[in-house]
Amino acid sequence: MTRGKIKNHRVTNRHRVAWALPAIVAAQVGIGGLASAQQPAPAAKPSASPKPAASKPATSATPAAAAPSVPGAPQPTLLGQFGDWGAYAATPGGKKVCFALAKPANSSTSPPNRPRDPAYMFISSRPAEKVKDEVSIIFGYGLKPNADANIEVAGAYYTMYTQADGAWVKNAAEETRLVEAMRKGQDLTIKGMSAKGTASTDVYSLKGLPQALDRVGQECR
């Protein structure tokens, strides 16, 4: 019972932070601007979107136009762009969070061309919680309940626990090994299944990830 309670508490903390990251990033640089941004953007202006963010689940990655309507959304600082990965720092709730972030280099669905919100992969560190290099993924759609997602990198496979549109490494003991494999790899593939039965395959380039993680580590020691 105690082990189960600890696991549930850890998962709750993971979800709380990972769900906040898409709104943080979207408010700062906007969809499509992650790779090109080289400096912090000015404070977000009020949204003119006819559909306020409150009408959507807080777990969804939303376009930049909707992000400013998130009350108190913290503005992250771009620490540097390294290849296909950006290194960022933010202070949601007064606690510092640093993360490396990338979007898929390649995405496909089966059946093809099914609509999705933008997908992201995060590797985050939270010094206040003694968390380092935690891997999480936002798929851009609601995942099939009780169905795992999978990461493949350098010929090894890692199972991801899923909830709503997010995924986290199921066996926390494997997380360090996964991050090390990502540091040495060229790309990785993530597969998931939507609640509507659509299979997705996302390929992420790992170019620049080691440098982005090193920068994150310097900022969030």
Q: What is the pLDDT of residue 73?
A: 52
List C-alpha distances in Å: 18 to 43, 108, 186, 197.
Answer: 22, 23, 24, 24
pLDDT of residue 103: 95
The pLDDT score that the predictor gives to residue 95 is 87
Domains of the chain: 2-219 (2.60.40.1880)
Torsion of CA 23, 27, 30, 31, to 10 degrees: 10
Could you tell me where the beta strands, DSSP code E, fall in 83-186? Answer: 85-90, 97-102, 106-110, 120-126, 131-138, 149-153, 156-163, 166-169
Confidence at residue 94, expressed as pLDDT on a 0 to 100 scale: 85
Give the per-residue pLDDT at 92: 83
- Write down the pLDDT at residue 2: 39
Q: What is the mean pLDDT, run by run of 10 residues, along the chain of 221 residues?
A: 40 52 51 38 37 33 30 74 94 89 95 92 92 93 95 96 92 94 97 96 98 96 87
Q: Considering Cα of 25, then 153, then 217, then 165, what sign does the dihedral take?
A: positive
What pLDDT does 34 receive? 45
pTM of the predicted model over 0.85? no
Would you state the pLDDT for residue 147?
94
